[in-house]
Structure 1
Amino acid sequence: MPSLEQALRAAYRNREGLLIQLHDQATDCYRLFHGSQEGAPGLTVDRYGPQLLVQSFHQTLERDALLALHEQVCASLGGHLSLVYNDRSQGNSRIDRNDPVYRADATALEDQVGREWGINYRVRARHSGQDPLLFLDLRNVRGWVKTNSAGKSVLNLFAYTCGVGLCAAAGGAREVCNLDFAESNLAVGRENGALNPDLAPMQFVQSDYFPAIRQLAGLPVPQRRGRQLPEYPRLAPKQFDLVLLDPPAWSKSAFGTVDLLRDYQSLLKPALLATADGGVLICCNNLAKVHLEDWREQVLRCATKAGRPVRHWQALSPAADFPSADGQPPLKVLVLQL
Structure 2
Amino acid sequence: MSISPTPQSIPQALASAISKRTQFLAHAEENDTNCYRIFHGTVEGVNGLNIDRYGEAWLIQSFHQSLTEEELAQVSEQLTQQTSLPVIYNDRSNKNSRVLNPLSDENETFATSEQKMLENGMLFSSKLRHEGQDPLLFLDMRVGREYVKAHSQDCSVLNLFSYTCGIGTAAAVGGASRVVNIDFSSFALAAGKKNAQLNHVEDVCEFVQSDAFPALRQLAGLKVGGRRNQKLPAYPKLAATQFDLVFLDPPRYAKSPFGIVDLINDYQSLFKPALLTTKAKGTIVCCNNVAKVDRQAWFDSLVRCVEKQGRQVTQHTWLDCHEDFPSFDGNHPLKIVALTLS
Corresponding residue number in structure 2 for 1:168: 171
Counterpart in the other structure of 1:55: 61
AA matched with 1:80: S
Q: 8, 25, 42: which one pairs with 2:14?
A: 8
Q: Displacement of 1:21 after TM fit? A: 1.2
CA 1:15–1:219 in 2, change beyond 3 Å: closer, same or farther? same
1:205 to 1:20, Cα distance in 2 relative to 1, 3 A: same
Q: Is the 8 A contact 1:291 1:328 kept in 2?
A: no
Give the match for residue 40 of structure 2. 34
Instruction: Assess if the C-alpha contact under 8 Å between 2:231 and 2:257 holds in 1.
Output: no
Percentage of pairs with the same residue: 49
Query: Equivalences for 1:192-211 in 2 at 5 Å?
Result: 192-197=195-200, 200-211=203-214
Q: Which runs of 5+ in 2 are unaligned?
A: none
User: What letter corresponds to residue 217 of structure 2 in structure 1?
Assistant: R
1:255-266 alignment to 2 at 5 Å? Answer: 255-266=258-269
Aligned to 1:129: 132
For residues 146 and 126 of structure 2, what CA distance do their matches in structure 1 show?
19
User: Residues 82 and 108 of structure 1 are in contact (CA less than 8 Å); yes or no, is this contact kept in structure 2?
Assistant: no
Distance in 1 between the 2:270 and 2:201 partners? Answer: 34
- Aligned equivalents of 1:225, 1:85: Cα separation in 2: 43
Please name the residue that 2:282 is paired with. Answer: 279
What TM-score, normalized to structure 1?
0.95
1:220 and 2:223 are equivalent in the alignment: yes
> Could you tell me whether the CA contact under 8 Å between 1:87 and 1:99 is conserved in 2?
no
Asked whether the 8 Å contact 1:153–1:176 carries over to 2, the reply is yes
Deviations 1:41-73 (A, max 9, x none): 010000000011000011110112112212212
Letter in 1 for 2:166: G
Closer, same or farther: CA 275–9 of 1 in aligned 2, 3 Å: same
Deviation at 1:145, TM superposition (A): 0.6
- Does 2:161 align with 1:158? yes
Deviations for 1:301-325, whole angstroms, at most 9, x for unmatched residues?
A: 1111122321111111110001012
- Match for residue 325 of structure 1? 328
C-alpha distance in structure 1 between counterparts of 2:217 and 2:293, whole Å:
26
CA contact (8 A) 1:83 1:108 kept: no
Bigger mean CA deviation after superposition, 156-165 or 289-298? 289-298
**One-letter identity of the residue aligned with 1:39:** G
Could you state the TM-score of these two structures normalised by the residue count of structure 2?
0.94
**Could you tell me how far 1:40 is from its partner in structure 2?**
0.5
Distance in 2 (alpha carbons) for counterparts of 1:228 and 1:174? 37
Q: Deviations over 1:174-207 (max 9, x none)?
A: 1111000111110110111222226643100111
The correspondence for 1:300, drawn from 303, 323, 332, is 303
1:224 deviates by 5.6
Alignment-derived partner of residue 248 in structure 2: 245
Aligned residue type for 1:48: Y
- The residue identity in structure 2 corresponding to 1:248 is P
Unpaired runs of at least 5, structure 1: none
Report what 1:84 is aligned to: 88
CA separation in 2, counterparts of 1:246 and 1:114? 22
Question: Which deviations, in whole Å up to 9, do the C-alpha atoms of 1:82-136 show, x marking residues without a partner?
Answer: 1110111111111114459x98352344211011121111110011111000000
Match of 2:31 among 20, 25, 28: 25
Between 1:22-31 and 1:225-234, the stretch displaced more is: 225-234
Amino acid at match of 2:150: T
Count of aligned pairs: 335
